[in-house]
């Protein structure tokens, strides 16, 4: 298992880069040495937590949700790294529950085997927090769904209860701010237009533009540069509005 990498030191970065079964495979050094060198430098700059605003555990959760969405087997390694970086087991669960909506339920299902292994290893520590409770008075919906609400009221009522459990719970361990960061990452990877709504809610919940940019940079490593490119115009616009005092 990779050790705690929250100190940002060169040794900790080397542990990340040299970790077995991760993106930077020693084989690339032989097959494409210049590529290997350049990619190592890129990963070091993104994962060097001493110089970044985004918490190390959230950086790992970004990797977790993108890899789960893509069905990639190193999701378990990043779940363990998130724990090493200070995340609780409950935060792992809530992160994957949250993105099961924008990423699709198979993303959560894909990570279940690794989560169960970690639960067995952690024992009682895996049950430190209570199960999420929904707030029946809260809403998290869009007017774009009004046609469904009118024509399929029972289904939409069930969906509203489900979404309130994920987006506006009464007792979350993973804050709404970080729920929105993770949702934004998945929506960027899917090039889905509602990303702007979630980026803005993340900012209203306390996220900085730097944190959002760093989340997208992390997602670009494991999910492709298109994730960052798709989000960038929205991030630039939000930054400009914040500087002008017109952000809402």
pLDDT digits (tens, 9 = 90+) for 140-183: 555 557 888 888 888 888 888 888 888 877 788 999 999 999 99
Torsion, CA 199, CA 201, CA 203, CA 204, rounded to 10:
170
User: Cα-atom radius of gyration of the chain, to the nearest Å?
Assistant: 19
Report the alpha-carbon angle 85-91-96, nearest 5.
110
pLDDT of residue 10: 41
What superfamily does domain 52-125+143-244 belong to in CATH?
A: AhpD-like (1.20.1290.10)
Q: How do residues 68-107 score in pLDDT, each as one tens digit?
A: 999 999 999 999 999 999 999 999 999 999 999 999 999 9
Who's near 131: CB < 8 A, 6+ residues apart?
none
Spatial distance between the Cα atoms of 126 and 116, rounded to a whole number of angstroms:
10
Residue 195 near residue 234 (C-beta atoms within 8 A): yes
Residue 88 near residue 128 (C-beta atoms within 8 A): yes
Spatial distance between the Cα atoms of 203 and 183, rounded to a whole number of angstroms:
13
Q: Where are the domains of the chain?
A: 52-125+143-244
Tell me the whole-structure pTM to 2 decimals: 0.83
Q: How do residues 179-230 score in pLDDT, each as one tens digit?
A: 999 999 999 999 999 999 999 999 999 999 999 999 999 999 999 999 999 9
Question: Of 11, 65, 16, 21, which Cα lies nearest the Cα of 43?
Answer: 16
Alpha helix positions (H), 2-152: 10-17, 26-31, 33-47, 56-70, 75-84, 89-103, 105-122, 146-151
User: Half-sphere exposure of 201 toward its Cβ, with a 13 Å CA cutoff?
Assistant: 19
Torsion, CA 80, CA 84, CA 89, CA 90, rounded to 10:
-120
Question: Of 150, 230, 156, 160, which Cα lies nearest the Cα of 198?
Answer: 230
């Amino acid at each position: 298992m990779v050790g705690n990498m929250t100190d940002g030191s060169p040794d900790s970065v080397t542990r990340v880069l040299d970790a077995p079964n991760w993106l930077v495979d020693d084989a690339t050094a032989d097959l494409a040495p210049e590529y290997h060198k350049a990619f190592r430098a890129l990963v070091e700059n993104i994962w060097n937590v001493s110089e970044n605003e985004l918490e190390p555990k959230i950086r790992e959760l970004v990797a977790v949700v993108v890899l789960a969405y893509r069905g990639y087997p190193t999701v378990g390694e990043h779940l363990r790294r998130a724990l090493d970086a200070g995340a609780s087991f409950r935060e792992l669960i809530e992160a994957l529950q949250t993105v099961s909506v924008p990423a699709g339920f198979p993303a959560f299902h894909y990570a279940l085997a690794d989560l169960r292994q970690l639960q067995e290893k952690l024992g009682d520590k895996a049950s430190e927090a209570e199960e999420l409770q929904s707030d029946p008075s809260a809403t998290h919906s869009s007017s774009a769904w009004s046609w469904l609400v009118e024509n399929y009221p029972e289904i939409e009522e069930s969906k509203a209860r489900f979404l309130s459990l994920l987006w506006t719970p009464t007792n979350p361990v993973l804050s709404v701010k970080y729920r929105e960061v993770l949702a934004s990452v998945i929506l960027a990877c899917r090039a889905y237009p509602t990303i702007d709504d979630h980026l803005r809610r993340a900012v209203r919940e306390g996220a900085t533009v730097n944190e959002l940019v760093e989340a997208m940079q992390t997602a670009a490593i494991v999910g492709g540069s298109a994730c960052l490119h798709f989000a960038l115009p929205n991030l630039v616009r939000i930054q400009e509005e914040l500087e002008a005092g017109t952000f809402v």
